[in-house]
């Protein structure tokens, strides 16, 4: 049984208005896993406000000379339950390699966090027909013996705040998710979620695909109404048998 997982990746943005209010769509539910990824500065408020909270990144070492970094254990101690590893913006803006991402996933799971490892090809790689080769290498580099969630995010579909950006088609997403599942030793139970311009008009088509177990929502997660609609759509679809 795979419970659908809907995540709000707020990136470097303040929490949306009312995010911590009693009836906010960001609150945990029993039928779905809802997890919020705020900035480090908003994490304490998010945890204290009762939201399931994750780090947008974490450093694999425990302590030491790593200016500007936060360890996985520190995220756990503050009350986080999850952490993103190797988001494409971390890979492209901070030079994180497949090996770095693997080390993050290991450290996260050692610290008792559930890692959400992000993979996905660039536009150029897809145009060259290299998407499966790239994603295979990214997935195979991960410590797949650990409990983890995989987020497939085609880099070219990530909105970057542009609401006009289009997601991949549901058929193409399903194809890649099935491919990723074929690489996993625990293929029946590992959740593979989709990220990249998921929003209310395309969420149903994407989430109904048999190998898409949720969404990593960026831009639309900053709008409580849009995020709430995605949550409702996921709840109507229910768990994956």
- Residues acting as catalytic residues: 87, 153
* List 141, 197, 203, 206, residue binding ligand PGA (CB under 6 A): 197
Q: Does 9 bind ligand PGA (CB under 6 A)?
A: yes
Q: Which span sits near ligand PGA by CB under 6 A: 38-46, 67-75, 186-194, 196-204?
A: 196-204
Least distance between ligand PGA and beta carbon 62 (Å): 27
Q: Quick one: 152 exposed, middle or buried, by C-beta within 10 A (0-12, 13-18, 19+)?
A: buried
Give the shortest CB-151-to-ligand PGA separation in angstroms: 7
Which CB, 20 or 156, lies closer to ligand PGA?
156
Regarding 159 and contact with ligand PGA (CB under 6 A), the answer is yes
Note whether 36 binds ligand PGA by CB under 6 A. no
Q: Interface with ligand PGA includes 56 (CB under 6 A)?
A: no
Q: Which of residues 211-230 bind ligand PGA (CB under 6 A)?
A: 216-220
Residue nearest to ligand PGA (CB): 218
Shortest Cβ 158–ligand PGA spacing (Å): 4
Question: Does 25 sit near ligand PGA (CB under 6 A)?
Answer: no
DSSP output for the chain: -B--EEEEE-TTSPPPTTTTSTT-TTS--SSSEEEEE--GGGHHHHHHTT--BEES--BSSSSSS-TT--BHHHHHHHT--EEEES-HHHHHHH---HHHHHHHHHHHHHTT-EEEEEE---HHHHHTT-HHHHHHHHHHTS-TTS--EEEE--GGG--TT-TTPPPPPHHHHHHHHHHHHHT-TTTTT--EEEESS--HHHHHHHHTSTT--EEEESGGGGSHHHHHHHHHHHHHH--B-
Q: Of the two residues 60 and 120, which places its CB atom closer to ligand PGA in the complex? A: 120
Considering the complex, what minimum distance in angstroms separates the CB of residue 197 from ligand PGA?
A: 4
* Residue 158 binds ligand PGA, judged by CB under 6 A: yes
Q: Which stretch binds ligand PGA (CB under 6 A): 60-68, 92-100, 129-137, 210-218?
A: 210-218
Q: How far is the CB of 88 from ligand PGA (least distance, A)?
A: 7
Q: Which residues contact ligand PGA by CB under 6 A?
A: 9, 153, 158-159, 195-198, 216-220
């Amino acid at each position: 049984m795979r419970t659908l997982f809907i995540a709000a990746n707020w990136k470097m943005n303040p929490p949306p208005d009312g995010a911590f209010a009693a009836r906010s769509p960001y609150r945990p539910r029993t039928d779905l896993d809802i997890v919020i990824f705020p900035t480090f500065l908003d994490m304490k408020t998010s945890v204290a406000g009762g939201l399931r909270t994750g780090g947008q990144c974490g450093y694999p070492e425990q302590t030491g000379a790593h200016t500007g970094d936060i360890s996985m254990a520190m995220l756990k101690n503050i009350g986080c339950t999850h952490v993103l590893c190797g988001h494409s913006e971390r890979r492209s803006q901070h030079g994180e390699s497949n090996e770095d991402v693997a080390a993050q996933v290991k450290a996260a799971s050692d610290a008792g966090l559930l890692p959400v490892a992000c993979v996905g090809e660039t536009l150029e790689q897809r145009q060259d027909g290299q998407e499966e080769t790239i994603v295979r290498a990214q997935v195979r580099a991960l410590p797949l013996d650990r409990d983890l969630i995989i987020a497939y995010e085609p880099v070219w579909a990530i909105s970057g705040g542009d609401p006009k950006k289009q997601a991949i088609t549901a058929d193409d997403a399903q194809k890649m998710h099935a491919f990723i599942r074929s690489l996993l030793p625990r293929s029946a139970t590992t959740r593979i979620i989709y990220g990249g311009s998921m929003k209310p008009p395309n969420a149903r088509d994407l989430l109904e695909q048999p190998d898409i177990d949720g969404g990593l929502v960026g831009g639309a997660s900053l709008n409580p109404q849009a995020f709430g609609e995605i949550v409702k759509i996921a709840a109507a679809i229910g768990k994956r048998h």
